[in-house]
Homo-oligomer: A and B are copies of this chain.
Amino acid sequence: VAEQDLNRSVIAFARAHRAAAAQLLAEVGLHPGQEVLVLTLVERGPTSVSQLAGLLGVEVPTVTKMVRRVEAVGLVERRPDPADGRVVLVALTPAGEALRPELDERWARLGDWVVDDLSEEERTTLRELLDRAAGSLHRHMGAPDAPTC
């Protein structure tokens, strides 16, 4: 096609990013996908399952499963919300907190890998274009789910 198959570039890039994340995170015992959960908890503190689903952009049962796995590794824990017996708050354990510096370092390294070849200006542009493209994708799907983090 005229655009030289942008989709392929997207897919290749996404796969490379995930593979790189997997490699970096394996050193701290996490699998790709789980780090976002931990980082979200770092930023926001104890958070309910349904809120996490919104923040991560996945369905509630997906979060339940993900939490169970990370819980099995001992990085997060569940606790009932004192204010509402229905909700379960997911929170970092001390071990999860302790992992934070390691995790931050690797997260930053991953970001560096992405932009390694790019100028300052290009880095800004990349981020902007990614966000706008994600936005337009969301618009075209049925999901009007874009909480302002």
Q: Which A residues are closer than 8 A to B by beta carbons?
A: 1, 3-21, 23-24, 36, 57-58, 107-108, 110-111, 113-118, 122-123, 125-127, 129-144, 149
Partner of A6, one of B9, B114, B141: B114
Cβ-defined contact, A7 with B134, below 8 A: no
A16 to B14, CA, bound (A): 11
A123 to B3, CA, bound (A): 8
- For A12, list chain B residues within 8 Å (CB): 57, 130-131, 134
Helix, strand, loop or mixed for chain A's interface? helix
A9, A16, A17, A57: residue with the most chain B Cβ atoms closer than 10 Å: A16
Say whether, besides A14-B10, A20-B141, A134-B9, A118 and B113 are in contact (CB < 8 Å).
no
Partner of A1, one of B1, B19, B108: B108
How many copies of the shown chain assemble into the complex? 2
Say whether, besides A133-B126, A144-B23, A107 and B10 are in contact (CB < 8 Å).
no
- For A21, list chain B residues within 8 Å (CB): 7
- For A115, list chain B residues within 8 Å (CB): 3, 6, 133, 136
Closest B-chain residue to A14, C-beta based? B14
Cβ-defined contact, A24 with B144, below 8 A: yes
Closest B-chain residue to A140, C-beta based? B113
A88 to B141, CA, bound (A): 38
A4 to B128, CA, bound (A): 11
Cβ-defined contact, B131 with A114, below 8 A: no
